[in-house]
Amino acid sequence: MSEMTQGQIWEKKWKDLIAPLDGDDIEIRAAGLSRDKKSTRMLVYKTARVDRARLDSIFGPAGWKTTTSQEAGCFIRSISIKSEDGEWITKDGVGEMPAPIEVWKDGKKELKEKDDPNKTADSDAFKRAGFIWGIGVELYNAPVIKVDHIEGDFLANGALSPKWWKVDVSKGIQNIILNDTKGRLRFKPNFYTEQKTEEKKTEKAPNADGQEKKDLMNSIFESSGAKNKGEFLTMANQTIKQTFGEVIAYEKLDIKQLKELSKHF
């Protein structure tokens, strides 16, 4: 097999740079609790560690660099990659200072600055620069993720903890699957639609059983040769006692018992 040309090597590098992230590279966090507090909306995201690891693995530590600057209260992160011809190509990402969050203290609502807001803004800028290069850009196409709470879930600030979830994106981000640490499926596309469909099927089952029971009872009546309902019930009650060893009202027989009874008519 012939060796790859420099052009082919660099073509592969650019393709590897924008390849979809693995499940292990994707984090999830709680984005909002439902009004009834029975479910949590989750968001998918990447950390700056993922961008650094990918850049290192493809271009090597000396093949890329990053710089930080500030402008109008925002952090600007530049990611530069040394191209095939030795020129540096730069793309920038902007991170805004996080807004204070509302907290309750002594019965009063107060605004609290996030821990180390400068670090948060700088990290966001770096990740956005990575997005512009194409690292993890598919996360923008992730579906809306809602996870219903079940007994035993750990709730943090009223929402599901994002820690220790298993993310499966082997079929693409739009087909993301979430399992918890106990191996229970908690989300996949159409997960709740499928659940509702199964519930509807279950709801229809009694109606189906009712029709089957009605058909069996009509069939037994016709096979009995009785001239009327009274004559039939007399015959049926005698046969029921002989068949099951006890007196059971004909209308109370279940489908299994009716099938057994039908063998005697």
Average model confidence (pLDDT) for the chain? 84
Q: What is the pLDDT of residue 160?
A: 60
| Least confident piece of the model among 183-192, 223-232, 244-253 | 223-232
Q: What is the biggest distance separating any 2 CA atoms in the chain, rounded to whole angstroms?
A: 102
Q: What is the pLDDT of residue 201?
A: 53
Report how far apart, in Å, the C-alpha atoms of 35 and of each of 29, 38, 39, 151 are.
18, 8, 9, 18
Listed residue (40, 48, 28) closest to 165, CA to CA: 28
Higher pLDDT, 140 or 202: 140
Beta-carbon contacts of 237 under 8 Å, excluding residues fewer than 6 positions away, are 247, 250
Backbone angles phi, psi at 128, to 5 degrees: -70, -35
- pTM of the shown model: 0.65
> How many other CB atoms sit within 10 Å of the CB of residue 167?
19
Q: Residues 32-53: pLDDT tens digits?
A: 778 888 888 888 999 999 999 9
pLDDT band at 101 (very low <50, low <70, confident <90, very high): low
pLDDT band at 31 (very low <50, low <70, confident <90, very high): confident
pLDDT at residue 99 above 80? no
Q: What is the pLDDT of residue 204?
A: 47
> How many other CB atoms sit within 10 Å of the CB of residue 240?
22
pLDDT at residue 251 above 70? yes
